[in-house]
Each structure stands twice: as C-alpha cells, then as structure tokens.
Amino acid sequence: MKVNQDVVGKEVLNTEGLIIGKVHDMEFDEETHEIKSIIVKKGGLTSTLNISKGENVVPFDMIKAIGDKILLKDAFADDFLI
C-alpha cells in the first residue's frame, strides 16, 4: 500500500486533542521521494458549522506523530485554533 493512501483521510489533531481537519493531499520532493508537507482541509467544529472551508499546508517537520491520527507539534498547532 502506498504512503499517501495510508495518510490521506486521517484526522489531524492539535496538542489539545481537537480535530483541526483531515489530510486532503500530500506534497513530495520529486528527487528524494520524501514527504515535504501535508495539505489539511479544515474540519472539526469549523467544518460542521460551515464557517471555514480553507486548507492549510503543514510542513512535514511540524508533525509530531502519525498513527491512527496525526498529531502536530505545539508551535504549529496553535496556528489552527478556532
């Protein structure tokens, strides 16, 4: 299974455990084939209430952990607070 099939669609959480969106797409370095960033469509409360339908580009080095969900590091996650 390809990496982007494993990551696209996963929920992205800030350090408070709030869902800030889901992975919509990924950007790769064409030479090294490494993940450069993930594209996160806003979700959680903002999506439910149709307040915002924006996207955010999250650099790969701002991701703390990838498991069932994706957890962002402190400094970057604060930018996504509602």
Q: Which two tokens stand for residue 14?
A: 């800030």
Coil, helix or strand at residue 6: helix
How far are the Cα atoms of 15, 28, 52, 58, 77 from residue 63, in angstroms, in the given order? 11, 15, 23, 8, 9
The pLDDT value given to residue 72? 92
**Tally of domains in the chain:** 1
Report the relative pairing of strands 70-72 and 55-59 from DSSP bridges: unpaired
Domain that includes residue 71, residue range: 3-80
| Other CB atoms within 10 A of residue 23 CB | 20
Q: What is the pLDDT along the chain (82 residues), one digit of tens a residue?
A: 356 678 899 999 988 888 888 998 999 998 998 889 999 987 555 555 555 567 888 999 999 999 999 999 876 555 554 4
Give CA–CA dist 27/8, Å, rounded: 11
CATH of residue 63's domain is: 2.30.30.240
The pLDDT value given to residue 52? 54
